[in-house]
Amino acid sequence: MSPEDVSGAASVADRRWASVRAIAADIARLEARDREDGLDDDERVELARLRIQAERASTRAMLADELADRIDQAERTRDRHGGAAGT
């Protein structure tokens, strides 16, 4: 694995977390509106949809983080042992 593989995996994880933050901002905006004026039925459906989307997005982000960590660990282990056999 090259350093680009590790940084690529970390970049994917970073983009996944950015998506989670964007969804969370939308949720916070709707929740604030709900506290102030209440939500109509369409907005309540949207809020429920966003909450499900946030849960799924955070799961994907955690998995991407875990994968990036595993790639990084494999790369460090390989480097400590003198590189891959046959290369």
What pLDDT is stored for residue 1 in this prediction?
Answer: 45
User: Is residue 12, in this structure, part of any structural domain at all?
Assistant: yes
Any domain includes 29: yes
Is 83 within a domain?
no
Say which range, 5-14, 23-32, 39-48, 64-73, has the weakest mean pLDDT. 5-14
49 pLDDT higher than 70? yes
Contacts of 23 (CB under 8 A, 6+ apart): 50, 53, 54, 57
- Work out the average pLDDT over 29-50: 98
Domain span holding position 45? 3-73
- Count structural domains, the chain: 1
pLDDT tier at 78, thresholds 50, 70, 90: confident
> Would residue 51 count as lying in a domain?
yes
CA distance 38 to 63: 35
Structure tokens at 3: 């350093």
